[in-house]
Chains A and B, each alone.
Chain A
Amino acid sequence: ETGVTQTPRHLVMGMTNKKSLKCEQHLGHNAMYWYKQSAKKPLELMFVYNFKEQTENNSVPSRFSPECPNSSHLFLHLHTLQPEDSALYLCASSQVYLDTQYFGPGTRLTVL
């Protein structure tokens, strides 16, 4: 499946680094999402963009900063992360807000 792509697939960063995760959807969808998946925890919805407008920010720390320049692209800018932020970060899109989610392969992030 190549409907939703994410880069990089793996990322190792130090706590003082700044990095960005990229997501692109080729499905013509209007909504895009960032999720965090940690071991033994349910999927956590972080941010939602609907028609490029941010509609949800689920109490995510400010060291995570999303950006949605258009309906096809979504970024997650990372700075001064903590080791507990290590997780799989999944991007998803849907045709309609909160409808069926199409997930990308994820970025496995390790914070040292």
Chain B
Amino acid sequence: GQQVMQIPQYQHVQEGEDFTTYCNSSTTLSNIQWYKQRPGGHPVFLIQLVKSGEVKKQKRLTFQFGEAKKNSSLHITATQTTDVGTYFCAGQAGATNKLIFGTGTLLAVQP
């Protein structure tokens, strides 16, 4: 079945360092969504990417959708302690129309 994998599973950085998480799908996606879940909280929507090769920015966060629409990345520049949490991608496959969440990347930021 369709799978969405994220790497790494866990990343520990010093405050001020950059961070990137990668999302890879076994099938072509119609769109991809990114969510952030703070410890003890619930997932909160960050952004949606639809077009091949699309790049979107939100302050220190840069989101990219691959040309083949099978992978995506989230890059955080100069991490802050407020960036702590688990980042999930969720891909919607055009053929099956299902929304599949990735395995998530837990980011820890040391002050």
Contact = CB atoms under 8 A, between A and B. Distances in A.
Contact of A103 (B4, B42, B103): B42
Interface residues of B, number: 20
Interface of A: 1, 41-45, 56, 90, 98, 100-106
Contact of A98 (B44, B99, B104): B99
16 contacts: A42-B88, A42-B102, A42-B104, A43-B43, A43-B101, A44-B101, A45-B99, A45-B101, A56-B98, A98-B99, A101-B45, A101-B90, A102-B45, A103-B44, A104-B42, A105-B42
**Interface residues of B: mostly helix, strand, loop or mixed?**
strand
B37 to A, nearest CB: 9
A1 B43 CA distance: 12
Residue of A44, A45, A101 with highest tally of chain B CB at under 10 A: A101
A101 B104 contact: no
B72 interface: no
